[in-house]
Chain A
Amino acid sequence: MAVITLAGATLSFAQTAQDVAVIVHPKNTVDNLTMADLAKIFRGERQYWRSNLPVLVLLRSSGSHEREVLLRNVFHMTESEYKQYWVSKIMRAEATSPPTDLYSNGMAKEGVASIPGSIACISAADLRPGVKVVRINGHLPGEPGYPLH
């Protein structure tokens, strides 16, 4: 069985086929986020890391498995509600734009590896070196209790 090791975590492809990993830049000091933290970040309610570095949210485009997992588990919205949410948020001057939509996990990985404040969700099966995988509620993709799948 093929195995990859990232940020001290050992993940198996068989276990992670449907899991969605949360990745950040390797120099980001965050190791663990709760689902509530993740919701605040992706909903644009938390816009800075503790180091005062601005958060840049990268999101897979509409129709992707990763986006569906996030909409269901983090946003608790449909695609339509998600679009309306960001129109409303920008109108309220709480954000200047919605999260950047990316067409592939490769683009998301490249963005996170290059931009220090970025965060993205990609299929755990597509993880490659160069990014840091964050624990969610203390769990990594493939572990029992991991919530993003």
Chain B
Amino acid sequence: MSRHTWFLTALLLASVFTRAETTGGQSEDVKALLQRIDQLEQRVAELEAGKNTSTAHLQDLKAQDTQIPTGQTVEEHLSTQMHDEHSQNVRDVEGHFPSMQLRGFGDVDFSATDERGTTSGFTLGQFVLHVASPLSKKVAYFGELSFTAQPTSYTADVERSIIRYSYNDHFKLSFGRYHTPINYWNTAFHHGLWLQTTISRPEMIRFGGRFLPVHFLGMLAEGNIPSGSLGLGYEVGLGNGRAGTISRAGDNGDVNSNRAWVGRIFARPAAMRDLQIGGAFYRDKITPIPALTGTPSFGEWISSAQIAWTHETPELISEFANVHHRNNLTGNIYNSQAYYIQLAYRLPWEARKWKPYYRFEYTHVPASEPLFSAPAFEVTDLVGSTAGVRFDITDFAAFKWEYRHTKHRPTDPPVNGVFVQTAFTF
């Protein structure tokens, strides 16, 4: 790594010590204004009580045939105006359909590794737009678009496109393209890198990776299971599963006539806020394109387990997955495993802006595994450590510094790398 890399890292470290603008004074002003509104509302209520007395008095006068045309007209006009304003306020509070809300995520990265054939430098990360729009009180649409820099242009992808019909908390049915609920990380952070503590995703669920299916196209039923304080929930889906390239979902149709199934059950106990424990399964038939020698297809059965404690003091996320492949030509069975464990802790000083973290990850694929060892579908063994620190410069932007040490095959040299990222939402 060049001296320039270390200079740049030091420069970024120094920059974050710049103090953010204080908003304490504004906050006090807002509090005072809100208290003033409450006082004025109480005063209006008192005056209205007085007005009712006046109205009764005016009606008495009217009964006595006293002429009060001007006052009566003003009173009726005010009454109509107040009713219209009230209706408008209530309509505003209740919401409009559809009402699209747009949120963006972005990141800028710097990387330098000692891997042969790589160069250090900056990269523009994904530019992500997330759309949420209620279409009625029980129907909503969610979409996620990403724009990724390529050597000669940008690629645009529809990462998620979901329409959901909600009957109640126990049954919601949706259709579209999802992040497969086989993995916690995949459904908690999506493409919003600002949301995740680290710069990188775990290798087992890396975008463009092949170990687990990142995307899923089809239908999904989900909801809470009546379970009291245990807080059980479920997701059950039916869809196209992996495409011929196995790293993508079959967006324009399935590669075979066998649908994929996915199911997940999880618990969010009321007594342990921010804890989620779950397990999932995924069943599919893989028809690789390009075909392997003998044109085999593979039965795939993935089982996984997750635990996530996102309390931040500490944060613990750990997942395990076993990918079971059955060669339908030979009947041979292969099992590959991957897991990671990530620990982080939000430090109490400096307005809780610093969060150091560490992640260990491991992947094992049997040497005889015909699908994951084929060059077009390759998944390699991995032993890796990631250590870093996150600094939240504002509520919606963060700097992250990360060191990674990874080793793939026994014959491969270990790779060390330094990564810097600023990730934000807007």
Binds B, one of A15-23, A86-94, A139-147: A86-94
Restricting to A89-134, which residues have a CB under 8 Å from any CB of B?
Answer: 90-93, 95-97, 100, 102-107, 110-111, 114-115, 118, 123, 126, 128
Contact indicator B168/A48 (Cβ below 8 Å): yes
- In the assembled complex, B229 has its CB within 8 A of some CB on chain A: yes
Contact indicator B31/A110 (Cβ below 8 Å): no
What residues on B are CB-neighbors of A111 within 8 Å? 89-90, 93-94
Restricting to A8-33, which residues have a CB under 8 Å from any CB of B?
Answer: none
What residues on B are CB-neighbors of A128 within 8 Å? 45
What residues on B are CB-neighbors of A126 within 8 Å? 38, 41-42
Contact indicator A90/B101 (Cβ below 8 Å): yes
Compute how far the CA of A100 lies from the CA of B86 in the bound complex, rounded to whole angstroms: 16
Contact indicator A54/B138 (Cβ below 8 Å): yes
- In the assembled complex, A72 has its CB within 8 A of some CB on chain B: no
Compute how far the CA of A58 lies from the CA of B33 in the bound complex, rounded to whole angstroms: 19
Contact indicator A90/B273 (Cβ below 8 Å): no
Compute how far the CA of A68 lies from the CA of B41 in the bound complex, rounded to whole angstroms: 20
Which of B95, B164, B395 is in CB contact (< 8 Å) with A83? B395
What residues on A are CB-neighbors of B167 within 8 Å? 52
Compute how far the CA of A115 lies from the CA of B229 in the bound complex, rounded to whole angstroms: 29
Compute how far the CA of A47 lies from the CA of B137 in the bound complex, rounded to whole angstroms: 11
Main SS at interface, chain A = mixed
Chain B residue nearest to A90 (CB atoms) is B132
Contact indicator B162/A93 (Cβ below 8 Å): yes
Compute how far the CA of A84 lies from the CA of B353 in the bound complex, rounded to whole angstroms: 14
Chain B residue nearest to A122 (CB atoms) is B38
Contact indicator A63/B89 (Cβ below 8 Å): no
Which of B27, B130, B168, B188 is in CB contact (< 8 Å) with A90? B130
Q: Known interface pairs A46-B169, A104-B34, A110-B89. Does A96 touch B188 (Cβ–Cβ under 8 Å)? A: no
Contact indicator B90/A110 (Cβ below 8 Å): yes
What residues on B are CB-neighbors of A137 within 8 Å? none
B185 CB to closest chain A CB, in angstroms?
12
Contact indicator A47/B140 (Cβ below 8 Å): no
Chain B residue nearest to A67 (CB atoms) is B34
Chain A residue nearest to B42 (CB atoms) is A126
- In the assembled complex, B133 has its CB within 8 A of some CB on chain A: yes
- In the assembled complex, B192 has its CB within 8 A of some CB on chain A: yes
Contact indicator B93/A107 (Cβ below 8 Å): yes
Which of B27, B101, B137 is in CB contact (< 8 Å) with A54? B137
- In the assembled complex, A136 has its CB within 8 A of some CB on chain B: no
- In the assembled complex, B380 has its CB within 8 A of some CB on chain A: no
Q: Known interface pairs A36-B229, A54-B137, A96-B133. Does A47 touch B38 (Cβ–Cβ under 8 Å)? A: no
Chain A residue nearest to B128 (CB atoms) is A91
Compute how far the CA of A64 lies from the CA of B160 in the bound complex, rounded to whole angstroms: 37
Compute how far the CA of A107 lies from the CA of B130 in the bound complex, rounded to whole angstroms: 30
Which of A40, A63, A80 is in CB contact (< 8 Å) with B30? A63
Compute how far the CA of A80 lies from the CA of B398 in the bound complex, rounded to whole angstroms: 14
Chain B residue nearest to A68 (CB atoms) is B31
Interface string of B279-320 (1 = CB under 8 A from A): 000000000000000000000000000000000000000000
B239 CB to closest chain A CB, in angstroms?
16
- In the assembled complex, B111 has its CB within 8 A of some CB on chain A: no
- In the assembled complex, B404 has its CB within 8 A of some CB on chain A: no
B41 CB to closest chain A CB, in angstroms?
4
Compute how far the CA of A102 lies from the CA of B89 in the bound complex, rounded to whole angstroms: 10
Compute how far the CA of A97 lies from the CA of B98 in the bound complex, rounded to whole angstroms: 12
What residues on A are CB-neighbors of B166 within 8 Å? 47-48, 54
Contact indicator A93/B160 (Cβ below 8 Å): yes
What residues on B are CB-neighbors of A102 within 8 Å? 93
Compute how far the CA of A61 lies from the CA of B42 in the bound complex, rounded to whole angstroms: 18
What residues on A are CB-neighbors of B195 within 8 Å? 87-88, 91
Provide a sorted-by-A list of 25 A–B residue pairs whose CB atoms are within 8 angstroms. Answer: A40-B270, A47-B169, A48-B168, A48-B169, A54-B166, A56-B93, A56-B94, A62-B30, A63-B27, A63-B31, A63-B33, A63-B34, A84-B395, A87-B195, A88-B195, A90-B101, A92-B188, A95-B132, A96-B101, A102-B93, A103-B34, A104-B34, A110-B89, A111-B93, A126-B42
Q: Which B residues contact A (CB, under 8 angstroms)?
A: 27, 30-31, 33-34, 37-38, 41-42, 44-45, 86, 89-90, 93-95, 99, 101, 103, 105, 130, 132-134, 137-138, 140, 142, 160, 162, 164, 166-169, 187-190, 192, 195, 224, 229, 231, 268, 270, 273, 395-396, 425
Q: Which A residues contact B (CB, under 8 angstroms)?
A: 36, 39-40, 45-48, 52, 54, 56, 58, 60-64, 76, 80, 83-84, 87-88, 90-93, 95-97, 100, 102-107, 110-111, 114-115, 118, 123, 126, 128
